[in-house]
Structure 1
Amino acid sequence: MRYEVVLPAAGSGKRMGAGKNKLFLQLQDRPILIHTLTVFEQDANCTGIWLAVKPEERTFIQELLTAYGMTKVKGLPAGGEERQHSVHSCIKEMKEVDIVLVHDAARPFITQEIIVRLAQTAYEKGAAIAGVRAKDTMKKVTEGVITETVDRESLWVIQTPQAFRFDLIKEAADVAEKIGFLGTDEAMLVERLGHKVHIVESSYENVKMTTKEDLLFGEAILANRSR
């Protein structure tokens, strides 16, 4: 199933405490961003990559793309204040395609197997997101006091990619912009339209590089995969 992918890459990465865009930090001598891009660069079903970037970082990112032979990037539109705005800026520039994936640029360990299942489910159902089952006991807490132990059997930890038919995600993003609604992810925008979003089971390795500890996990994953 052919698709194009949007990668919001204009974040500040404050929780990483790196003093620069965390996507430029390295895992095994390659920037996180390049690890992520390589997954889609090597996927024959991916027909285009869109990166929402900070204008002041555009030149550096273009240099990275050239240095590492990334050929599928179709555009580098300016990112917005929020992730949702960055994704929408890319969607506005896209020509109509069958399927659009939205993926965290800081999740470099997604596999093509999961991508295939997401794209196929989105093509058949309209919307699909990656997730894993909650492993820990979940508690609801109010003002520092536990008020409920939540049944984790029905709880999933949501990841990316999130995959949608193009017309559906474009409508959802357009409506959200029109009414000034800010969601936590693209699936929430689609849910507001009354459309069902389906879950595709992902991998616990599909972690997001958010804190310094995550970099340790990332190095371990790469070392394990290289073996």
Structure 2
Amino acid sequence: MYKNQYISVIIAAAGMSNRMGSKINKQFIYLNDKPILAHTVEKFEKCKYVDEIIIVAKEDEINYCKKEIIKRYKFRKVSKIVRGGRERQESVYNGILALDRKTNIVLSHDGARPFVKVKNIIDSIKGAIKYGACVIGTPVKDTIKIVANNKDIDNTPKRDLLWAAQTPQCFKKEIIMEGYRKAIEDKFVGTDDSMLVERLGINVKVIMGNYENIKITTPEDLIIAESILKDRDTIYRNKRFAFQTR
């Protein structure tokens, strides 16, 4: 399935981090032993099907990213760090413009989603090869309300039809490029890459992700992230102890 496929990942790490209330970009906040962005890049570095990683960073953080993320953790698949834009959409587009000429499958991922699993990445690649466009996501657990401007509930959609979109979102190169071309032409700004492809009338498949794949945005998210890492460490130590005592 992966023969003759050149797979590139664009990691968007140029956000303003306003909701985090931190003096530094949330991508560089440490979780346990390393920055959030390093945790994120590591997952794609480990995926054997990923050929290149492009990081999109704020212009004044590019050198810091090179030194403290790429060089420090010896990531070999990061080919470029490019300047981000005012919006995520502009940032990802800058990443698209920097893709290797050989690229035919493109993944976009949030730098602040460090808990994506390698399996999610592989499933996304498979989905893009098979369907042309896909996103990973999870069925919502809460009842969702559509609320009017005056805060009156307008309607309650059926929960079993609702999914929370995550990243990576994965596309054949020509599809995502056409989505961006059309969005620029129409001066349209979407909240994720899938929206731009949906506007073309192209079907986008949803593939099951994992509930741990949170986007770290607020201080409360950091608490959840630390809990996830702690739980994973406990599971690892218990498995190791069980193996050693056999």
TM-score interval for Structure 1 and Structure 2 normalised by the shorter chain: over 0.9
- Per the TM alignment, residue 117 of structure 1 is displaced from its structure 2 partner at its CA by 1.1
What runs of 5+ residues in structure 1 fail to find an aligned partner?
A: none
Pairwise mapping of residues 162-177 of structure 1 onto structure 2 (< 5 A)? Answer: 162-177=169-184
**Structure 1 equivalent of residue 95 of structure 2:** 90
Q: Relative to structure 2, which stretch is displaced further, 178-187 or 35-44?
A: 178-187
1:21 maps to which of 10, 21, 25: 25
Pairwise mapping of residues 43-62 of structure 1 onto structure 2 (< 5 A)? Answer: 43-62=47-66
**Structure 2 equivalent of residue 107 of structure 1:** 113
1:191 matches 2:198: yes
SS in 2 for 1:49: strand
What runs of 5+ residues in structure 2 fail to find an aligned partner?
A: 236-246
- Per the TM alignment, residue 225 of structure 1 is displaced from its structure 2 partner at its CA by 1.4
* TM-score, with structure 2 as normaliser: 0.89
**Structure 1 equivalent of residue 242 of structure 2:** none
CA contact (8 A) 2:135 2:206 kept: yes
2:71 maps to which of 37, 53, 66: 66
CA contact (8 A) 1:96 1:166 kept: no
- Per the TM alignment, residue 114 of structure 1 is displaced from its structure 2 partner at its CA by 1.2
Closer, same or farther in 2 for the Cα pair 1:190/1:219, shift >3 Å? same
The 2-side partners of 1:212 and 1:127 are apart by 33
**Structure 1 equivalent of residue 86 of structure 2:** 81
1:34 matches 2:38: yes
SS in 2 for 1:136: coil
SS in 2 for 1:224: helix
Point out the structure with max Rg over C-alpha. Answer: 2
CA RMSD of aligned residues (A): 1.1
CA contact (8 A) 1:91 1:170 kept: yes
- Per the TM alignment, residue 222 of structure 1 is displaced from its structure 2 partner at its CA by 1.0
**Structure 2 equivalent of residue 4 of structure 1:** 8
**Structure 2 equivalent of residue 178 of structure 1:** 185
The 1-side partners of 2:204 and 2:65 are apart by 33
What amino acid is the match of 1:78? R
The 2-side partners of 1:58 and 1:140 are apart by 40
- Per the TM alignment, residue 147 of structure 1 is displaced from its structure 2 partner at its CA by 2.5
* TM-score, with structure 1 as normaliser: 0.97
Runs of 4 or more, structure 1, over 3 Å off, are none
1:122 maps to which of 120, 128, 142: 128
CA contact (8 A) 1:172 1:190 kept: yes
1:221 matches 2:225: no
